[in-house]
Amino acid sequence: MLINKSMGIVERKEREREEMRQLILDGAQKLFLANGFEKVSIRNIADAIEYSPATIYLYFKDKNQLLFALHQRGFVKMVGEFLPLQLLADPFEKLVEMGRSYIRFAVENPELFDLMFIMNAPMDTLDKEDWVEGDQAFGLLTRVVQECMDAGIFQKHDVQSTAMMIWSGIHGYTALFLRKRLGMFPECDRELIMDEAFNLFCETLRRGL
Amino acid sequence: MLINKSMGIVERKEREREEMRQLILDGAQKLFLANGFEKVSIRNIADAIEYSPATIYLYFKDKNQLLFALHQRGFVKMVGEFLPLQLLADPFEKLVEMGRSYIRFAVENPELFDLMFIMNAPMDTLDKEDWVEGDQAFGLLTRVVQECMDAGIFQKHDVQSTAMMIWSGIHGYTALFLRKRLGMFPECDRELIMDEAFNLFCETLRRGL
DNA sequence: TTGTTTGATAAACAGTGTTCAGTAAGTTTG
DNA sequence: CAAACTTACTGAACACTGTTTATCAAACAA
């Protein structure tokens, strides 16, 4: 076996394999974002990229693993939207803007958000190392919370619990809204109430934490 | 047509129809709570109650409508757990206990909770009148919030927005926990952090609202 | 050139929600 | 009571789903 020859081939194969993975994910993402998750099957994805359904199983163990790969893409995108906000000087303003960003991300990318925070499917079989993207996003939040404490805006509590509390508060609206659980409010008032509730949450944190 | 005779029969038929509906729902509920939603099919339900799958479609337009009927059962159960708490004298304590109840309900009845607040399916086709159960539960919350305002515990804001904010806060944890989105915390700390975050939320409301 | 590995696939399996023609009882009418 | 009609139910089919496996041709190694 000629080492330099086969090594080149191995590298190319690896590259081609990764390209194929991305091709599948691109096709899947396009379909999911356009038609919603419930209406997209492995066969649809295979058709879209002009391969047989069985081929997809050479690159992803099952549908959940494919969904999880998209879940990771979602986190990359979300963290990308959080990063510019880190430049804001006032830590509390930074926190509020991150909350607003979270909600905006959810409204603009409902399918991705679903995958990241609501759907069961992608979390079914999961290792520790798969959490790096989620960790990164939550890390940004804890850091801002710590800054708020350091600046004396918040009292000093356990940072993790505080961050968790804030995340939950923001996530709550978002999830209820996305899953159409606000039927008790008349359609027209809904956006207003959401907005008021968000502002009230920020105000309450400001005063009470 | 003899009026008194046929009226008796019509009534019996109506009664039998309702009994059949309940029989189907009982079977469905038992299977869903035991195996989770993803693993229960119309055929399973039909087998369990010893009828043909097609029969179920004589009583429910489709699977979503069946799920929505269970969703309503869930609300009846939850409101049933909230009612005794209404006797508590201190409105803030009442609010906190309702929050605790919400979380406990979710942990003890994850499948029902899922149906009530997370799953897409049962909300797909929904009229206004279908919201009575949800309205009732949210009504209990707004009333307690109003009491807190009247007692001077909370500042006077829009009751609806305030109730929405509190609901979201509590719902947030619950949904994230149930959907296994707390992978960034080590397994053993999770319950503790959830508890701390809940207490912190109550404390913050107490001080900041 | 021969032998081996690899990537892709057609076909099948076991399941899903849902519809519909057909049947056998229950009910009403002459 | 017998005939006509109505109703509740079902078997079988339709068009899907995710997933596995035997097969085959092309790429590679000896």
- Distances in Å between the Cα of B201 and the Cα atoms of A144, B93, B145 are 18, 13, 15
The first and second tokens of residue A70, run together, are 């998209």
Which residues fall within 8 angstroms of residue A68, CB to CB, at 6 or more apart? A122, A123, A126, A130
- Please, what are the domains in chain B? 1-60 (1.10.10.60), 62-208 (1.10.357.10)
Chain D nucleotides near the protein (CB, 7 A): 7-13, 16-22, 28-30
Which residues of chain A lie closer than 8 angstroms to B206, CB-CB? Answer: 208
Which residues fall within 8 angstroms of residue B52, CB to CB, at 6 or more apart? B46
Residue with tokens 């990063």: A83
What's the confidence (pLDDT) of residue B4?
Answer: 45
pLDDT tens digits along A137-187: 999 999 999 999 999 999 999 999 999 999 999 999 999 999 999 999 999
- Distances in Å between the Cα of B89 and the Cα atoms of A195, B6, B141, B145, B206 are 32, 54, 15, 14, 16
Which among A55, A141, A175, A122 has a CA at the least distance from the CA of B117?
A175
What's the confidence (pLDDT) of residue B115?
Answer: 96
Measure in Å the smallest separation between the Cα of A14 and chain B Cα atoms.
30
What's the confidence (pLDDT) of residue A14?
Answer: 84
Length of chain B: 209
The better pLDDT of the pair A123, A204 is held by: A204
CB A71 within 8 A of CB A29: no
Which residues of chain B lie closer than 8 angstroms to A168, CB-CB? Answer: 169, 172-173, 176, 197, 201
**Window 33-62 of chain B: CB closer than 7 A to strand C:** 40-44, 53-54, 57, 62
Looking at the predicted structure, is the pLDDT value of residue A7 above 60?
Answer: no
CB A200 within 8 A of CB B157: yes
Closest nucleotide (C1' vs CA) to A13 is C6
- From CA B156, how far away is CA B141, in angstroms rounded? 16
Which residues of chain A lie closer than 8 angstroms to B128, CB-CB? Answer: 183
Q: Is the dihedral of CA A35, A39, A41, A44 positive or negative?
A: negative
Which residues fall within 8 angstroms of residue A73, CB to CB, at 6 or more apart? A25, A29, A112
Which among A163, A28, A29 has a CA at the least distance from the CA of A109?
A29
pLDDT tens digits along A47-81: 999 999 999 999 999 999 999 999 999 999 999 99
- From CA A193, how far away is CA B167, in angstroms rounded? 13
- Distances in Å between the Cα of B113 and the Cα atoms of B82, B103, B191, B206 are 15, 10, 19, 27
What's the confidence (pLDDT) of residue B2?
Answer: 38
Which among A139, A145, A137, A136 has a CA at the least distance from the CA of A92?
A145
* Dihedral in degrees, nearest 10, Cα atoms A60, A77, B114, A159: 120
Q: What does A95-159 look like in DSSP terms, one character per residue?
A: HHHHHHHHHHHHHH-HHHHIIIII-SGGGSS--SGGGHHHHHHHHHHHHHHHHHHHTTSS----H
- Distances in Å between the Cα of B185 and the Cα atoms of A29, A117, A191, B182, B193 are 29, 15, 33, 6, 8
Residue in A119, A120, A140 to test binding to B, most B beta-carbons within 10 Å = A120
Closest residue in chain A to residue B155, using alpha carbons only: A204
pLDDT in tens, chain B (209 residues): 433 444 577 777 789 999 999 999 999 999 999 999 999 999 999 999 999 999 999 999 999 999 999 999 999 999 999 999 999 999 999 999 999 999 999 999 999 999 999 999 888 777 777 888 899 999 999 999 999 999 999 999 999 999 999 999 999 999 999 999 999 999 999 999 999 999 999 999 999 98
